[in-house]
Amino acid sequence: MKLSRERKVFLGILGLGLTALAADRFVISPTGPRSAQASIASVVQDSATQAQPVPAAPEAATAPIAPANTVRVAHQLESFGQEQGLRADETANAFQPSAAWLAEDEASAPKPQSLAPVGPPPAQAFTAAHKLNGVMAKGGGGYAIINGRAVTVGQTVDGFRLVEVSRRSAVFQSSTGEQAELTLQTPAGSAANPRS
């Protein structure tokens, strides 16, 4: 049976893994997990104020060794809470910060500044940016030529919808209800049509 390249790679990786496992179990730490527990217990004992000899772990024992003079984490947390004035029985959610912490955060947080609109109102900006070149009014609507582009009633230009076309103007409305009216400019020196 001929092995493909992919299977050879898989077998190589499997072999490396088994070799690493064997080296870890038999070469690096031949005594096993019980001696590791005993060595951890001895380190804890040595760092404590009352150093007591660590009894050898019996072979049948499977529970971790805890020195008699060590303080449990729960007891340390309870004493810390009492020092800080925190009551665990009054806290509905352990992950919710206490009211004292929230009050400090609110006091130190910068006050938000009111955001005033920058620039002209949208309708004014629309009329400044667009020029009405011509109109063609008809009964059901009409056309307006804005900046050289034909726009029918109902079409939108830069967020403003064309709602009305008259003989000399076009009225646009934004989605917020603002209206902008573009009017035809008469050339200088010519008379406007009196019938408008």
Q: How many domains does the chain have?
A: 1
Q: What is the pLDDT, as a whole number, of residue 144?
A: 92
Q: How far apart are CA 185 and CA 138, in angstroms?
A: 20
Which element (helix H / strand E) includes 174? strand 169-174
Domain assignment of residue 84, yes or no: no
Domain assignment of residue 160, yes or no: yes
Q: Are strands 132-138 and 160-165 parallel, antiparallel or unpaired?
A: unpaired
Distances (CA, A) of 167 to 68, 90, 114, 159: 99, 74, 43, 23
Domain assignment of residue 178, yes or no: yes
pLDDT in tens, 123-178: 899 999 999 999 988 777 788 999 999 999 999 999 999 999 988 899 999 999 99
Domain assignment of residue 169, yes or no: yes
Domain assignment of residue 140, yes or no: yes
Average pLDDT of 21-47?
A: 63
Q: Closest by alpha carbon to 185, among 142, 136, 139, 135?
A: 135
pLDDT in tens, 64-103: 565 555 667 778 878 888 888 777 676 667 677 777 777 7
pLDDT in tens, 116-131: 667 788 889 999 999 9
Q: What is the pLDDT, as a whole number, of residue 16?
A: 94
* Single-letter code of the amino acid located at 39: S
Greater confidence (194 vs 109) lies with 109
Domain assignment of residue 43, yes or no: no
Q: What percent of the chain has pLDDT over 90?
A: 28
Q: What is the pLDDT, as a whole number, of residue 146?
A: 92
Domain assignment of residue 153, yes or no: yes
Q: How far apart are CA 134 and CA 117, in angstroms?
A: 32
The answer to whether 29 and 38 have CB atoms below 8 angstroms apart is no
102: burial class by Cβ within 10 Å (0-12, 13-18, 19+)? exposed
Domain assignment of residue 158, yes or no: yes
Q: What is the pLDDT, as a whole number, of residue 49?
A: 44
Which domain covers residue 158, as residue numbers? Answer: 122-183
Residue with tokens 């804005």: 146
Q: What is the pLDDT, as a whole number, of residue 73?
A: 77
